[in-house]
């Protein structure tokens, strides 16, 4: 693959990566808690989701989902309900001063499911990636290379966000953790509701 194609894909992905989404919200609502390796878990789960989308696109399964209204809506519904459930859990989460129980511990699979159940994330490898690949270079290997770029950008963005939040927590003795968690919960619920709204005729684009 030509280096300029990789660079072009990276530039095209920057605005997509920095747009607030489920992965960033999960990081923000957990990074100030006593849990360890929050950033690693979010990045790891998101990376697995990105690789899954790239692999499915290479196998043609993502195209099948995107072109089947029934499959697309089923995936969209599952993803929306999952985000809403995560948002409700975030709103109900207690202060990080209280020991975190197993039921509220962030898992890698949480970030993975939030990404892999997002059909718009799959669309990246069916709409953006083909702009930088032709019929001869649209191969599993090259899709995985682009997925690696996507992961690197996402990891950098999440790490920068985590560093900023931790820096603020050191500068201010009392961090409004409840406000951060509550805002994160509202964002997750809003993302889920937006996904549900996309299923309403005329609400958003539907698969062709």
DSSP states along the chain: --HHHHHHHHHHHHHHHHS--HHHHHHHHHTTSS-SSHHHHHHHHHHHHHHHHHHHHHHTHHHHHHH-HHHHHHHHHHHHHHHHHHHHHHHHPPPTTSPPPGGG---HHHHHHHHHT-HHHHHIIIIIGGGG--TTT-SHHHHHHHHHHHHHHHHHHHHHHHHHHHHHHHHSSS--HHHHHHHHHHHHHHHHHHHHHTTSTTTS----
User: What is the number of domains present in the chain?
Assistant: 1
Q: Is residue 154 part of a domain?
A: yes
88-125 pLDDT, tens digit per residue, is 877 776 554 433 333 357 889 999 998 888 877 878 88
Q: Across residues 37-59, what is the average pLDDT?
A: 92
Say yes or no to pLDDT of 12 above 70.
Answer: yes
Q: Is residue 202 part of a domain?
A: no
Q: Let me know if residue 82 belongs to a domain.
A: yes
pLDDT band at 138 (very low <50, low <70, confident <90, very high): confident
- Tens of pLDDT, residues 141-200: 898 999 999 999 999 999 999 998 888 777 665 555 566 666 767 777 887 787 777 766
Task: Find the domain containing 36 and state its range.
Answer: 3-197
Specify the pTM: 0.73
């Amino acid at each position: 693959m030509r280096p300029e194609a990789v660079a072009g894909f990276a530039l095209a992905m920057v605005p997509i990566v920095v747009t607030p989404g489920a992965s960033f919200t999960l990081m923000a609502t957990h990074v100030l808690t006593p849990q360890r390796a929050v950033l690693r878990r979010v990045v790891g789960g998101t990376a697995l989701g990105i690789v899954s989308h790239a692999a499915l696109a290479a196998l043609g399964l993502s195209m099948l989902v995107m072109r089947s209204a029934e499959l697309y809506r089923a995936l969209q519904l599952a993803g929306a309900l999952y985000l809403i459930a995560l948002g409700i859990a975030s709103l109900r989460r207690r202060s990080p001063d209280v020991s975190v129980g197993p039921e509220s511990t962030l898992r890698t699979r949480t970030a993975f499911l939030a990404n892999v159940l997002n059909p718009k994330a799959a669309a990246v490898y069916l709409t953006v990636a083909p702009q930088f690949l032709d019929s001869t270079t649209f191969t599993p290997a090259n899709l995985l290379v682009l997925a690696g770029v996507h992961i690197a950008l996402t990891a950098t963005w999440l790490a920068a966000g985590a560093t900023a939040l931790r820096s603020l927590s050191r500068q201010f003795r009392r961090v409004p953790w409840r406000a951060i968690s509550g805002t994160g919960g509202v964002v997750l619920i809003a993302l889920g509701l937006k996904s549900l709204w996309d299923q309403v005729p005329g609400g958003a684009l539907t698969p062709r």
